[in-house]
C-alpha cells in the first residue's frame, strides 16, 4: 500500500506535537508519542510513523524566529519528500506563515492553514464576558483575524481551518480531513483514509468505499487466484490467517479496536460503557473464523480450499458490520457535522 508523508511547520507551542499524536491515535504519555510542551524541542525534521498504516508525519523546526526566511527553511527540510504541508499556529498568523505558504505554493506542493487551540480562546472569551458570550461570534472573529493577517502577508483568498485537537468532533477538523482526501493522489488516498480518525459521516463513507474496492484483491490472494502470492502465504490455512488479519483490520481502520475506543473516550468525554456498547454489534465474521481455526476440520478445508465467492462474501459481510458499528460510535461520540461547510470570506 503506497504511503504518504505530511510536514508540520509551526511555531513553539502551536500544537504540532498534539496534532501528530492525535492522528496516530496516541496519548501524550505514550512512549512513542511526540513531546508536547511550551518549549521548542524540534531542532531538525523529526519523523513520526503511524503505528498501523504507512503514514509518516514530520515535525519541522519552528518558524517564529526573527531571522526566519521561508526559502532557506524549505531548503533545509527537503520539501520534495512531503506530500503536503499543514501550517499550524495557535495565535495570529504572521508574515512568516504567509511567506512560507507562498514558497510552498511555488514548489507545486499543497498546504493547509490551521488555527489550533480555538477551544482555549472560546473558554477565555466565555470567562471574560459570560453575559454576552457567543461562540459563533468568537469563531468568526478568529477566522477574520486569520484572513486579514495572511492577506496582509501577500496570500490571496486563504482558507483557514479552526481546530481543537481535544475536541475533534467540533470546528473544522473533519473539513480538513475531507479536503486532504480529495486533494491527495488516488494511489495514496487509501492509506490516508485508513489512518485518519473517523469523526464525520463523509469520511466514514469514503473509508468504507475505499476498503470495499480492495475486497476483490484480498479475496483473490486468500484463495490463491493471485499468480504472485504474498510472501509467506503458502496454502489455504496460511491464507485463512491472512484473512483474519484483513477482517480485524476493518475494525481497526474505523477505530473500533479497544485502544482506539479508549482514546476516543478521552477525546470526547463520553462514558466508556456507552462507546463500547455502540461498538459491539452482532458476532463478527472475524470471531467466527477464529473459532473455525480451532476446529480439527480445518485440515479438510485446507485440502478442499475456499472459493473466491465465499471469501469475498466473508470480507464484505465483515466490512458491512464494521461500518454499522462505526456509524453507531460516531452518533454516540460526536455531533453531526456532515452539513457544516468551511466559511468563505464575503467580498467587501
Structural domain includes residue 128: yes
The confidence score (pLDDT) of residue 141 equals: 95
Residues 6+ apart with CB under 8 A from 169: 199, 268, 333, 334, 335, 337
Domain count, the chain: 2
Judge if 184 and 246 occupy the same domain: no
pLDDT surpassing 80 at residue 148? yes
Structural domain includes residue 149: yes
The confidence score (pLDDT) of residue 21 equals: 85
The rounded distance, in Å, linking the Cα atoms of 286 and 243 is: 9
Judge if 257 and 165 occupy the same domain: no
Judge if 173 and 253 occupy the same domain: no
Structural domain includes residue 45: yes
The rounded distance, in Å, linking the Cα atoms of 125 and 136 is: 11
Judge if 164 and 288 occupy the same domain: no
Structural domain includes residue 272: yes
Structural domain includes residue 134: yes
Residues 6+ apart with CB under 8 A from 97: 63, 87, 89, 113, 149, 150, 153
* Domain residue limits at 238: 201-333
Neighbours of 81 (CB within 10 A): 12
Judge if 176 and 212 occupy the same domain: no
Helix, strand, coil proportions of the chain in percent (round to 5)?
50, 10, 40
pTM for this predicted structure: 0.78
Q: For position 34, which CATH number holds?
A: 3.40.50.300
Structural domain includes residue 346: no
Judge if 87 and 177 occupy the same domain: yes
99 in the Ramachandran plot: left (φ > 0), alpha (ψ -120 to 50) or beta?
alpha
Judge if 169 and 311 occupy the same domain: no
Judge if 86 and 100 occupy the same domain: yes
The rounded distance, in Å, linking the Cα atoms of 251 and 286 is: 10
For 150, list phi and psi in degrees, rounded to 5: -70, -40
Nearest to 73 by CA among 82, 63, 64: 63
The predicted-structure confidence for 70-105, as pLDDT tens digits, reads as follows 667 777 777 888 889 999 999 899 888 998 899 899
The predicted-structure confidence for 207-255, as pLDDT tens digits, reads as follows 999 999 888 888 777 776 544 443 333 334 446 677 778 888 888 889 8
Residues 6+ apart with CB under 8 A from 152: 95, 98
For residue 29, the number of C-alpha atoms closer than 13 Å in the C-beta half-sphere is 2
pLDDT surpassing 60 at residue 172? yes
The rounded distance, in Å, linking the Cα atoms of 23 and 169 is: 13
The predicted-structure confidence for 48-62, as pLDDT tens digits, reads as follows 998 888 889 998 876
Judge if 162 and 209 occupy the same domain: no
Judge if 89 and 134 occupy the same domain: yes
Judge if 190 and 220 occupy the same domain: no
Structural domain includes residue 140: yes
Judge if 166 and 240 occupy the same domain: no
Amino acid at each position: 500500500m503506497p504511503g504518504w508523508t505530511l510536514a508540520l511547520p509551526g511555531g513553539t507551542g502551536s500544537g504540532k506535537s498534539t496534532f501528530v499524536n492525535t492522528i496516530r491515535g496516541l496519548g501524550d504519555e505514550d512512549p512513542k508519542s511526540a513531546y508536547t510542551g511550551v518549549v521548542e524541542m524540534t531542532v531538525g525534521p523529526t519523523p513520526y510513523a503511524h503505528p498501523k498504516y504507512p503514514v509518516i508525519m514530520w515535525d519541522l523546526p519552528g518558524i517564529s524566529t526573527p531571522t526566519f526566511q521561508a526559502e532557506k527553511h524549505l531548503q533545509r527540510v527537503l520539501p520534495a519528500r512531503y506530500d503536503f504541508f499543514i501550517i499550524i499556529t495557535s495565535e495570529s498568523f504572521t508574515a512568516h506563515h504567509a511567506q512560507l505558504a507562498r514558497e510552498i505554493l511555488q514548489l507545486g506542493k499543497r498546504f493547509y492553514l490551521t488555527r489550533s487551540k480555538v477551544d482555549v480562546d472560546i473558554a477565555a472569551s466565555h470567562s471574560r464576558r459570560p453575559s454576552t458570550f457567543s461562540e459563533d461570534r468568537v469563531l468568526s472573529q478568529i477566522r477574520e483575524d486569520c484572513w486579514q493577517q495572511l492577506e496582509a502577508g501577500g496570500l490571496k483568498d486563504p482558507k483557514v481551518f479552526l481546530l481543537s485537537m481535544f475536541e475533534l468532533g467540533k470546528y473544522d477538523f473533519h473539513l480538513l480531513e475531507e479536503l486532504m482526501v480529495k486533494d491527495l493522489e488516488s494511489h495514496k488516498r487509501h492509506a490516508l483514509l485508513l489512518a485518519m480518525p473517523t469523526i464525520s459521516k463523509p469520511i466514514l463513507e469514503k473509508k468504507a468505499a475505499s476498503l470495499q474496492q480492495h475486497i476483490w484483491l484480498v479475496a483473490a490472494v486468500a484463495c490463491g487466484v493471485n499468480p504472485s502470492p504474498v510472501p509467506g502465504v503458502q496454502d489455504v490455512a496460511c491464507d485463512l490467517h491472512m484473512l483474519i488479519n484483513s477482517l480485524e483490520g476493518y475494525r481497526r481502520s474505523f477505530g473500533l479496536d479497544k485502544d482506539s475506543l479508549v482514546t476516543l473516550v478521552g477525546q470526547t468525554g463520553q462514558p466508556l460503557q456507552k462507546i463500547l456498547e455502540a461498538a459491539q454489534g452482532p458476532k463478527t465474521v472475524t470471531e467466527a473464523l477464529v473459532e473455525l481455526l480451532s476446529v480439527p476440520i480445518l485440515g479438510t478445508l485446507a485440502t478442499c480450499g475456499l472459493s473466491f465467492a465465499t471469501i469475498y462474501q466473508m470480507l464484505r459481510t465483515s466490512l458491512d458490520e464494521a461500518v454499522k458499528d462505526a456509524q453507531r460510535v460516531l452518533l454516540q461520540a460526536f455531533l453531526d457535522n456532515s452539513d457544516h461547510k468551511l466559511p468563505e470570506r464575503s467580498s467587501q
